[in-house]
Structures are given as structure tokens and as C-alpha cells.
Amino acid sequence: MKESRKPAASSAPEQCAGGVTVRRGAWEGEWFVSATPAPGVTPAALGREVAACLEELGAHPVSMEIFGVPGVALADLKKAFGTLSWPVTWVTEGCSAATPLRGMQLWAVAGVRTAPVTVDGAVVGTVFTRDGARWCRLGGLVPRDLSQSRRDQTRAVFTLMERALEAAGLGFEDVARTWFYNHAMLEWYREFNEVRTAFFWDHGVFDRLVPASTGIGGANAAGAALTAGVLAVRGAQAALVPSPLQCPAPNYGSSFSRAVEIPAGTGRFLTISGTASIDPAGNSVFIGDMDRQVELTLDVVHAILASRGMDWKDVCRGIGYFKRLEDAPALGRALAARGIAPLPLISANTDICRDELLFEMEVDAVSAV
């Protein structure tokens, strides 16, 4: 195994090559890689850059999220990585044959033994143990029967989560974070929330930690109503982190926590849920004003970071979700105006959970202490 480079956890994003940035995680040998193709860069070329970066770090992927079209990009990525023995979540919304890949992110580790998690012969996760804690990342979870209603497909995904967690030696009580990419979200987000809330009541989730989450628009290659991902950990006490500027999401019918913090190594890992322009009463604000929606979202995210003694420099990965991709420069302008160095983010073109919302942002951050 090659010796890993060691950028400080609080440094600016480090370039591997081209559009690939890497940030160190909370423990030695943990890495977060974000990659966005520059104009004219093919999926094959970007895949080779990411694979070369991981080889240099001596790290193995735990999970991969790709905003792209598998039929166009998958063959190129397999050439770069070989067998994909880790979970891959494909979100096709906002992508096409003309724009087959908008970006990808990977969580990777070195110096620990990882094992794939399989259900019915398909790789749906990765599990590993570090410092006495058992970590599991699931991804690409889709229902098998696409003829079912959206409600039943959602129930099927929760059942698949339980089966995968059991295969990894964990349970839903260990879940700290979820991701849901819902096709045509605006048509049925209320239904989705009803199913999720019912599952949480049935499984006692409201009696313990309610996971952080992103619920966003997102078509998938399978043609399913949704695809999902999970982060679970046993042996490290995850804790809810409230938002200083927003009310708890369950107050308006969405069953997730604003953020969750997990001890990791000698430091802490903070995962902040998808965050948008919502006021303390749970109302959407700055309707039609992209710049002000971005500004409020940044204020809310920063308030959560600051509440845990962190800042923008501690962000290790993130995604900016844009209802209209032409609005994406607004985020760069806002960050520059605040004097914030470029963040390890990728941009996605998806619906937000409310039609009037134009932007949503999720970030993870690490602190060395």
C-alpha cells in the first residue's frame, strides 16, 4: 500500500488533478474525494483522474455517488476502476447524452479492511471497523418491483435498508444519516414523508436518534420512484445537532434531524442535512430570489458548523442542488463575497422538496478534536 499524503484537516481543498479535490477525514487514512469534469473532459478521463488519486492515497472506495447517465458513463468508469465492489448511487436528473456526467463523490479509506455488503447477490454497501466502531455505508438502494405504487416502492426501500444493515451486522437503530433521491419529487413528497414517518414510528426511531437526511429530486437509471443511501455506525455515539436558525424539521412533517455528529478517531464527524431557504417557523422565504435563498442557506449551514466549533475550512464534502442549473454561479458569488475559499462541492441539477425553493445544500465537516 502506498503512503498516503496528509493534508491538514483544516486546509483548503487539495487538488489531485484536473477537477478532482480531496479532503482528509477525521482519522488517518480517511478521504473524501469530489470530482467535477472541466469543459471537454470525458467521463473516462475524469474516472482515470479519480482512480489515480485513490491509488496515490492508497485508499479503497467505501461508496460512490454519481450524477450522470450510466449508459454513457458506466463503461468508462469500469475501465478506470475495474470491478465496482462498492455501492454506487446513480442520479440521472439533469444529465443527458450531451452531458453524461456532472460530478462524482467518493468516501475512501486506507489501512482498514473493508467488506462488501450484498443483498440478493447485488453489492449495496461497504462495512468496516475502525477504533472499535463498525461503520456501514449503503447506496444505490432501489426497489425491485417497479410496478408498485410510489408508496409501496418507498416501503420496499426501507425493507431493503433493513436487510442490508442486518447483512452488515447492524440495525436501523444504528442509522445516523440517509439520502433519498425521489423521481418527480414534487408530485409525491408528502406521500414519501408519510411513509417514512410511519416507518419511523413502527421502528421506534422517534424514541432515539432521528437520522440527518437529504430528500431531493432525482431520477435514476432503474426507472424507480426513488433511490436511497444510508450511513450507519455502531460503537460510536451519534448525537443530534439542532439548527440555531431553523426549527426541527418534524415540526412541519419531515422526519429528519438538521444535523448529526459522530465521534471519529480522535476527532468528530458532522453531517448536515439538506438545507434550504426556510425560516425559523418552517416557511419558505425569499421566493424567486436566488441570491437571497443562497445567502440564507449559507447562514443556516454556518450556524450549525459554528455551534460545534467548526467553520467552512472544516468542510470535507458537499453538494449544491440547483433547481435551475444556470443559477449555480450564485453560490460561487456568495462564497467569494464572504471570503470563503473554494469548497469541495459538486453541483447537481434537481428539484428541491418545495416548488418555490431554488437551492439546497448539504455538507459534511470534520474536526480534529
Residue type, 169: G
Name the pLDDT band for 58 (thresholds 50, 70, 90).
very high
Across the chain, mean pLDDT equals 92
Residue linked to cell 424514541:
207
Residue type, 139: G
Query: According to the model, what pLDDT value does residue 19 have?
Result: 84
Q: pLDDT tens across 82-103, in order?
A: 888 999 999 998 888 778 888 9
Query: According to the model, what pLDDT value does residue 9 have?
Result: 40
Assess whether pLDDT exceeds 70 at residue 8: no
Assess whether pLDDT exceeds 70 at residue 15: no
Name the pLDDT band for 368 (thresholds 50, 70, 90).
confident
Architecture, CATH, for domain 1-112 = 2-Layer Sandwich (3.30)
Q: Which residues have a Cβ under 8 Å from the Cβ of 200 and sit 6 or more positions away?
A: 206, 210, 255
For residue 358, the 8-state DSSP code is -
The domain ranges of the chain are 1-112, 115-236, 266-369
Q: pLDDT tens across 122-181, in order?
A: 999 999 999 999 999 999 999 999 999 999 999 999 999 999 999 999 999 999 999 999
Interior CA angle at 343 toward 82 and 62, to 5°?
Answer: 30
Is residue 5 within 8 A of residue 363, CB to CB? The reply is: no
Alpha helical stretches, state H, the chain? 43-57, 70-81, 150-167, 189-202, 290-307, 329-337
Q: Which residues have a Cβ under 8 Å from the Cβ of 238 and sit 6 or more positions away?
A: 176, 209, 260, 261, 262
Identify which of 304, 302, 293, 294 has the alpha carbon closest to the alpha carbon of residue 259: 304
Looking at domain 115-236, does it have CATH number 1.10.760.10? no
Is residue 316 within 8 A of residue 364, CB to CB? The reply is: yes
Largest CA distance in the chain: 52
Is residue 120 within 8 A of residue 147, CB to CB? The reply is: no
**CA–CA dist 127, 318 (Å, integer):** 22
Query: According to the model, what pLDDT value does residue 73 have?
Result: 74
**CA–CA dist 216, 235 (Å, integer):** 30
Is residue 155 within 8 A of residue 203, CB to CB? The reply is: no
Residue linked to cell 414523508:
193
Whole-prediction pTM value?
0.94
Cα radius of gyration rounded to whole Å, the chain: 19
Query: According to the model, what pLDDT value does residue 72 have?
Result: 67
Is residue 197 within 8 A of residue 191, CB to CB? The reply is: no
Is residue 26 within 8 A of residue 329, CB to CB? The reply is: no
Assess whether pLDDT exceeds 70 at residue 10: no
Q: At what angle do helices 189-202 and 150-167 cross, to 10 degrees?
A: 40
Query: According to the model, what pLDDT value does residue 5 have?
Result: 37
Q: 1-112 and 115-236 share one CATH topology? A: yes
Residue 236 backbone dihedrals phi, psi, to 5 degrees:
-135, 125
Q: pLDDT tens across 235-262, in order?
A: 999 999 999 999 999 988 899 999 999 9
Assess whether pLDDT exceeds 70 at residue 104: yes
Looking at domain 266-369, does it have CATH number 3.30.1330.40? yes
Q: Which burial class, exposed, middle or buried, applies to 134 when counting CB atoms under 10 A from its CB (0-12, 13-18, 19+)?
A: middle
β-pair partners for 136: 127, 232
